[in-house]
Copies of this chain bind each other. A is one copy, B any other.
């Protein structure tokens, strides 16, 4: 029936849109991926995430920090060292990343074979 379809659809749509709101844009997931292998410094992330500018990384890191996905740490050494790391909450994104990676590979192959 149509009504059941609609209700079922909503149950998926709402959380997916919640997720998309937080992960939107070109850079958030790439940044998170770069951090999956351990905390990194600003300059290291710039090198890892090809094409990102200082300005975008700065802005995106702030967004991610506000949303509780990234933790910024200032080491009180001289000179000061600043690192970014994933929070436990963003480590739960592993499934999303793996699904996207796997589909992206499939899609890439498909596109190249056309």
Q: Which residue of B is nearest A5, CB measured? A: B37
For A110, the chain B residues whose CB sits under 8 A away are 68, 89
Q: Which of A16-46 contact B (CB under 8 A)?
A: 16-20, 22, 24, 26, 29-30, 33-34, 36-38
Quick one: copies of this chain in the complex?
2
User: In this assembly, does A77 line the interface, its C-beta being within 8 Å of a C-beta of chain B?
Assistant: no
| A50–B24 alpha-carbon span in the complex (Å) | 18
Question: When the two chains form their complex, are residues A107 and B19 in contact, meaning their CB atoms are under 8 A apart?
Answer: yes
Known contacts A30-B13, A37-B8, A18 near B97 by CB under 8 Å: no
Number of interface residues of A (CB under 8 A): 45
CB distance from A20 to the nearest CB of B (A): 6
Q: Which of B20, B22, B99 contacts A95 (CB 8 A)?
A: B99
Q: Which residues of A contact B (CB under 8 A)?
A: 5-6, 8-9, 12-20, 22, 24, 26, 29-30, 33-34, 36-38, 48-50, 68, 89, 92-93, 95-108, 110
